[in-house]
Chains A and B, each alone.
Chain A
Amino acid sequence: MAVALAKEDALAARLAALDLPQGGFTRAARAAAVARLQALGLPGKRDEYWRYTDPAALTAVAPPTAEASDAQGEVPVFDGLDRVKLVFVDGVFDPARSDDPTLAGAEISRLATADAADIHWAQGIYGALEAAGQNPVPRPLAALNTAAATDGVLIRVTARAARPVNLIYVHESATSDAILHHCIKIEAGADLTLLETGPAGARFNKVLEVDIAEGGRFHHVRTQGRDHARRAATHVFARVASGALFKSFTLTANGALTRNEVVIDIVGDDAVTHVAGAALGDGATGPFHHDDTVFVTHRGVRCESRQVFKKVLKHGAIGVFQGKILVKPGAQKTDGYQISQSLLLDDDSQFLAKPELEIYADDVKCSHGSTTGAIDEEALFYLRSRGVPVQEATALLVLSFLADAISEIEDEALQTEIFTVLEGWLARHKA
């Protein structure tokens, strides 16, 4: 009871500190989210789902202050790519720094302004995918987001989008508490690539809801990096219809506390969903705690899902993976695959993994595996004996370890961009 009361107080304090938007077309969804939240309470470290990650900094009334990060002259990722740039500064869309949001094959609007409308195509998505994703595991921070999000982007894709959309986050204020909520609808047969880059604020709570209709294709590539003091809770909720494709890849470098949840609901048949992540943590440059939590539900037949997560950890960095494949009754011929691996570059670092399968159909192929290992000393010596200096040899082995996750990105140009970021990180974190 004491815990429940403490949770209630914490939630009341958190909500009181927020300026909850009234909402236009989102009004009902926001009210429902507040009700959901009141039933759930904020997450605490006693919760089973938060066993490996302490959410205190994510639920506190105010974020710990975090100075804006310095890019140190680094060329931003995806810089050379032709894309529509939409810039959010400390959680607020900045039209002046953004491209004109017109894109052949898609309509793009801004949540903060579109929300005044009584009706909008996003009405069936905003907060709806999040609400559906609260079962069987509660995700209170996502409900909080639905209730409190002040800005975001709404993208409806009706054809093959001519260019990728790049959400670029900028962190300027040391106290910003950015809460963004994006909704994406991929209509039947349509196709979009979404890129997300940059540090978003002192604290960041983000929900991305993606609804993919029959035969639609969605590619998502994001990078989280540079902001060592990052405290971020992100959720991706995807609803995937028959014959559709969902592919999401995240590169995470640094960050005091990052929890990335991906919740995929495969509602149709013959769909393909891949979610992958590569994380690099070096405790010598600040605390690093990175948590990938994934939940894939198979409802249709002949669907394929893959989870490929790799983490490279050193100097006390902590990596967490919680991944689940749930195969519902009747979801026959499911092909589910999950692998989580860590490469510990010293004895101080830690990888905690909880892989789960829950299967209620008899004709399925599902596998999962989790490994923790060190650099292969034999391979390292072999490289050095060929004249490759130890740092360079280590970097090459780290890249080869991460390669399986990166190859989950379909577009080779995007893969190259990610490798460039990785090489830069490895060059800066040699020792």
Chain B
Amino acid sequence: MLKINNLHVKLEAEDKVILKGVNLTIGSGEVHAIMGPNGSGKSTLSYVLSGREGYQVTEGSATLLGAALLDMAPEERAAAGLFLAFQYPVEIPGVGNMTFLRTAVNAQRKARGQDELSAGEFLKLVREKAKTLKIDADMLKRPVNVGFSGGEKKRNEILQMAMLEPKMCILDETDSGLDVDAMKLVADGVNALRDAGRSFLVITHYQRLLDHIKPDVVHIMADGRIIKTGGPELALEVEENGYADLLAEGV
């Protein structure tokens, strides 16, 4: 599904290298987790994969289903099936959440040569998905993420993911700022989407999300590299001992 090969990334505006040779291969239907201390480059990796400006790839490559990801515009990556649930979802005053969702769904359908959803079809779909995420009509009406609580923003990300049905989902600290109930909702939302044809990359600090979204593979990232890869037990190890031992090993 996703193949990242020796990815080196620096900031465009300054001489700061953030990713220093990331290698990662995620197979179809797999769930991978990336854990790692703050500032290790996890968000940068997710931004670079989704095409945010401000970064410069100096070496390496990334492919999604065989297509060179890094050459595509952000909207092309989305149409190709990539989705990033933002660590900090963006507020867009003046654009209604519903308009936002419909524009996105129809833009992707158009890019894939499918007919746009009618207003009725769209409404039915969004109501159904919103209900399972406990997103009420008011949240759908309000401007995108404006005045949403931290938890509401994260649930809104999952709603977008559910509507867009991407193939490769990256979740950047979707659990941060969530209480136990909200985390359960989000995890249920993610698990409902698990499918042989869909993969997940779950970025998190905490083992607790991985209790709900069971990963197949766990990676530890530090200082712009993946320093260790293992099974779910690796997350438990981090939970118990912190990163210190792993970092020492990695050096």
Question: A residues touching B (Cβ–Cβ < 8 Å)?
Answer: 376-379, 381-390, 392-393, 396-397, 399-401, 403-404
Contacts and interface: CB of A to CB of B under 8 A. Distances in A.
Interface string B76-116: 01110001101001111111000110011001100100000
Contacts of A376: 92
Given A382-B86, A401-B94, A404-B94, A387 B73 contact: no
8 contacts: A381-B90, A382-B89, A385-B50, A386-B108, A387-B79, A387-B111, A389-B75, A393-B75
A377 B53 CA distance: 9
B51 interface: yes
Given A388-B75, A390-B75, A400 B164 contact: no
A384 B75 contact: yes
A396 B53 CA distance: 20
A400 B90 contact: no
Interface of B: 50-53, 73-75, 77-79, 83-84, 86, 89-95, 99-100, 103-104, 107-108, 111, 143-144, 160, 164
A382 B90 contact: yes
A396 B79 CA distance: 19
B101 to A, nearest CB: 8
A400 B95 contact: yes
Given A381-B90, A385-B51, 7 more contacts: A382-B89, A387-B78, A389-B107, A389-B111, A400-B94, A400-B95, A403-B94
A385 B94 contact: no
Contacts of B94: 397, 399-401, 403-404
A388 B84 CA distance: 14
A166 to B, nearest CB: 29
Contact of A379 (B77, B92, B104, B160): B92
A430 to B, nearest CB: 15
B155 to A, nearest CB: 16
Contact of B108 (A387, A393, A403): A387
A383 B77 CA distance: 12
A378 B143 CA distance: 15
A387 B104 contact: yes
A396 B84 contact: no
A407 to B, nearest CB: 10
A404 B160 CA distance: 26
B107 A392 contact: yes
